[in-house]
Amino acid sequence: MPTVGDVAPDFELLSDEGKPIKLSDFRGKKVILYFYPADFTSGCEFQACSFRDAYTEVQAKNAVVIGVSPDSVDSHKKFREALKLPFHLLADPDKKIAAAWDSAALKPQDDGTTKLKIVRSHFIIDEQGKITDAQPNVKAADSKKLALASL
């Protein structure tokens, strides 16, 4: 798992526009990178709208927001449009990037099996690509406040 002080591992995923985006594309800006379970769920909508509503403040701190979930590009496009989000959502359908960022964990299911599920979390990355804050298992209601305080 990447930790505070590490250089953020680069990755590339498709955005809600179907275009590849790399984390390193944002060098020179701070990044709020957040992992969330699913589009169109109450907690995820709350978290996304919190970042949307604070986006002027985020930009004033030379920062951007990037959301990542296992939903499809098409789902992200609809979610972004429905909520009027000013930032990109990236599709991680196999949860590889979430797992690499320790934002996915095996959870027991009712049938006795386990399934890889997203763990809501966010990371703050500085202009040089170093992780300056990590919030695993963050609550949707606390994510924006904690992220803005760390920028």
Q: Give the catalytic positions in this structure.
A: 44
| Residue corresponding to tokens 């990109």 | 88
Q: Which residue has the tokens 């949307």?
A: 52
Q: What is the dihedral of CA 60, 64, 69, 71, to 10 degrees?
A: 100
Exposure string (b/e) for 5-25, b if CB count within 10 Å is 16 or more? eeebeebebbbbeeeebebee
Q: How far apart are CA 79 and CA 70, in angstroms?
A: 13
